[in-house]
Amino acid sequence: MNQEGLATRCVHAGEIADAHGSPHTPVYTTTTFRFASTKHLLDVVDGRQPGSLYTRYGLNPTIQSLEGKLAALENAEMAWAFCSGMAAEAALFLTHGRKGIVCLGDAYGGTLELLASQLPLLGIPTHLLLGSELARLENLLKGGAGLVFFETPSNPTLEIFDIRAVSELAHRHGALVAVDNTFASPVNQQPLALGADFAVHSCTKYLGGHSDLTAGAIMGSRELLMPIWNWRKNLGSMIAPEVAAQLARSIRTLPVRVRQQNASAQVIAEAMRAHRRVSGVLHPGLPDLPGHVLASRQMSGFGGMLTIEVAGTGEDATRVADRLKLFALAPSLGGVESLVTQPCTTTHHGLTPEERARRGISDSMLRLSVGLEDAEDLIADLNQALG
Ligand code: PLP
């Protein structure tokens, strides 16, 4: 494991030196690579020698360089890069979830759709448990489920799950654990160090950080990542070299961005808690969040995401979202620009009102992704929109 600090790893890990002295890895956009001999080609094809071969396989220096950096972010033995977060999740589920997948708590809508509607078509058993149903996990594991998947903090209620406790329980029953670390980012949370087997990312969010690229990643041990390789290769879910280079560039500034976002989100959460037109604020850094103590233990920063509950109806919250000027009304997160979404009209629009209520998602909730603008300006924007 690399003992350098995270910021140092973000800048230097994975970079390859080229013949011209470039300070970071050049972009190799070629789809294929020449060999001096058939013997050398076969050595690379058969894995006897490292080398570049074909970009869709990931055997491309720019992609491999990115993967070195991604692995270093989570202090993992290996990482695979993908063309999206969903591509990463799909490859993980198809490789390691075939005995059954348990999803704990709320997850991104696309993940829930894949688990609830699509993987069962292939005969893969899937189980969606709310945080309040955690007691059912052990029985599902006894029943043979082989993979536990969850987000912590979760979306949009910022529920916190105990990575160490869930991992210990799953491992006792021979199951694997994957944590979607997108919301926290590796700056604030290190799932592998807490016992999880995989960290999964939508790199489209904090790792990309500028709302201008789509990518995904899985980090973990060599033993568990190698079987995923063929699925990624034949599903064709490889990241493009141009995007890999863009993502590596963004990761070099990840800690600076995320630490600033942590600080601004905390200030905004506190300001919103004192606002008379806000009836609730969910943020791991606020002591009133039920998961605050656990978050303080397993996270080193509380993240740039928060959810506010506007006092009034869902329509009142919609009006606030529509009146915001600096916070853009857009369904994503983790970028330098602040974004707002109303879960009942975006991420959780597909659920019935009863199902949303069961999940603790009210119509008057607004999810905020805090960017890099001045926190005072963001608070002023929220104040004018709240009226
Ligand atoms: N995981 C989380 C927590 C997400 O928010 C998203 C997308 O919003 C995904 C995974 C899927 O990522 P992508 O859009 O890169 O496929």
pLDDT tens sequence across 186-245: 999 999 999 999 999 999 999 999 999 999 999 999 999 999 999 999 999 999 999 999
Other beta carbons within 10 Å of 286: 18
pTM, two decimal places: 0.97
Cα–Cα dist 78/225, whole Å: 7
CB within 8 Å of 355: residues ≥ 6 apart: none
CB within 8 Å of 22: residues ≥ 6 apart: none
Q: How far is CA 79 from CA 26, 86, 275, 322, in A?
A: 20, 16, 43, 40
Cα–Cα dist 186/299, whole Å: 10
3-class state of residue 360 by DSSP: coil
Task: Say yes or no: CB of residue 152 within 6 Å of ligand 1.
Answer: no
Cα–Cα dist 306/328, whole Å: 15
Question: In percent, how much of the chain has pLDDT > 90?
Answer: 93
φ/ψ (deg, to 5) at 217: -155, 150
User: Quick one: tokens of 270?
Assistant: 């506190």
Q: Ligand 1: which residue has its CA nearest to atom 11?
A: 85
Q: Ligand 1: which residue has its CA nearest to atom 2?
A: 108
Catalytic residue chosen out of the listed positions 9, 28, 69, 108? 108
Question: In percent, how much of the chain has pLDDT > 70?
Answer: 99
Task: Say yes or no: CB of residue 216 within 6 Å of ligand 1.
Answer: yes
Task: Say yes or no: CB of residue 334 within 6 Å of ligand 1.
Answer: no
Cα–Cα dist 255/185, whole Å: 9
Q: Are 188 and 300 in contact (CB under 8 A)?
A: yes
Cα–Cα dist 133/101, whole Å: 15
Cα–Cα dist 364/278, whole Å: 10
**Hunting for tokens 């536990």 — which residue is that?**
148
Sequence-ordered alpha helix ranges (H) in 27-128: 38-45, 61-73, 85-96, 109-113
Walk across the sheet containing 328-329 and list its strands. 278-282, 305-310, 365-369, 339-341, 328-329
Q: Which of 94-98, 227-231, 243-247, 287-291 shows the lowest mean pLDDT across its residues?
A: 287-291
| Ligand 1 pocket mutation, candidates 150, 159, 189, 205, criterion most atoms within 8 A of CB | 205
Q: Is 108 among the residues known to form the active site?
A: yes
Helix H or strand E segment including 232? helix 222-235
pLDDT in tens, 307-326: 999 999 999 999 999 999 99
Q: How far is the CA of 180 from the centre of ligand 1 (A)?
A: 9
Task: Say yes or no: CB of residue 108 within 6 Å of ligand 1.
Answer: yes
CB within 8 Å of 9: residues ≥ 6 apart: 2, 69, 72, 73
In order of start, what are the domains of the chain with their CATH numbers?
6-251 (3.40.640.10), 254-386 (3.90.1150.10)
Q: For residue 181, which amino acid is it?
A: N
3-class state of residue 84 by DSSP: coil
pLDDT at 2: 61
Residue 75 pLDDT greater than 80, yes or no: yes
Q: Is the peptide bond between 61 and the residue preceding it cis, with omega within 30 degrees of 0?
A: no
Rounded mean pLDDT of the chain?
96
Which has the closest alpha carbon to 306: 276, 277, 284?
Answer: 284
Q: How far is CA 227 from CA 82, 93, 120, 231, in A?
A: 15, 12, 21, 8
Give the pairing type, strands 198-202 and 216-220. antiparallel
Q: Ligand 1: which residue has its CA nearest to atom 5?
A: 108
pLDDT band at 346 (very low <50, low <70, confident <90, very high): confident
Helix H or strand E segment including 128? strand 126-129
